[in-house]
């Protein structure tokens, strides 16, 4: 099962309800896999940048919702900027 989802500006996560699956994954607009869960959990959440994604699973996809981490955890309102995982961390920072 596949479903296209748009994450608008100001939102940064996607919550998916699934049944009868062995995996769920997110593909970016270019078709590259950016997230995969091989868990049988019925609820899966992924943190993403705004943009267009395709949700793909071998099971049944139920409700798909987009949101923001701030709405889930108000203490994250002043979270630091995301790290660039392609660069080594700066020591002493």
Domain boundaries, the chain: 2-69
Measured CA to CA, the distance from residue 20 to residue 41 in angstroms comes to 10
pLDDT digits (tens, 9 = 90+) for 26-85: 999 999 999 999 999 999 999 999 999 999 999 999 999 999 877 655 555 555 566 777
Let me know: does 28 contact 34? Beta carbons within 8 Å: yes
pTM of the model: 0.72
Let me know: does 71 contact 10? Beta carbons within 8 Å: no
Residue 46 CB partners (closer than 8 Å, separation 6+): 13, 14, 16, 26, 35, 37
Residue 26: what pLDDT?
Answer: 96
Residue 93 has pLDDT above 60, yes or no: no
């Amino acid at each position: 099962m596949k479903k296209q989802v748009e994450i608008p500006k100001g939102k940064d996560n996607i919550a998916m309800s699934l049944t009868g699956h062995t995996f769920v994954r997110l593909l970016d607009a270019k078709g590259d896999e950016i997230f995969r869960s091989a868990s049988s959990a019925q609820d899966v959440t992924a943190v993403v940048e705004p943009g267009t994604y395709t949700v793909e699973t071998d099971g049944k996809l139920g409700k798909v919702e987009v949101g923001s981490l701030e709405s889930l955890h108000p203490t994250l309102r002043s979270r630091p900027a995301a790290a660039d995982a392609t660069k080594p961390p700066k020591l002493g920072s």
